[in-house]
Each structure stands twice: as C-alpha cells, then as structure tokens.
Amino acid sequence: MAGYRIISSDNHVFEPRDLWVDRIGPRFRERAPQIVNEDGYDWWYCDGVKVISVQPVTQTG
C-alpha cells in the first residue's frame, strides 16, 4: 500500500467531562454544556436543560 494515505472515518473523540465548564468564560459558565451525575447516571445538561443520557452514547472520563 505504499503511496496511499489511509484516513479513518470512524475515529472517536473522548473529551474530558469538564471540557466546557473549565474552558468557557465565567459569563457563560452556567449555560455551558456539562455532565451532571444523578442517581449514578451521567446526563448532559445544556443551558440548564437535561438533554441526553451519556451512558447509551459513550463513557466519559
């Protein structure tokens, strides 16, 4: 396969669970996407609204 470049189209990125909260300006921190653990389950919250459970999609951390 010399001369060919192989690029995977199925890579996965696992961001740290505090990515948005730690790197967004203080003015927007309360509205930033964040993961909240409720009764042992991780949930995405965005602007204070529960959006999706993390478990079926990926494992954080």
* Each residue's pLDDT tens digit, 25-40: 999 988 999 888 998 8
The label of the residue with tokens 């696992």 reads 14
Residue spans of alpha helices (H) in the chain: 19-23
Separation CA 27–CA 56 (nearest Å): 31
Out of 5-9, 36-40, 53-57, pick the least confident: 53-57
Kindly list the domain boundaries of the chain, sorted by start residue: 19-53
Indicate whether 61 pLDDT > 90: no
DSSP 60: -
Q: Please report the sign of the dihedral spanned by the C-alpha atoms of residue 23, residue 24, residue 25, residue 31.
A: negative
Between 16 and 53, whose confidence is greater? 16
* Mean pLDDT over each residue of the chain, to the nearest integer: 81
The label of the residue with tokens 């927007």 reads 28
- What pLDDT, on the 0 to 100 scale, is given for residue 27? 93
pTM to 2 decimals?
0.58
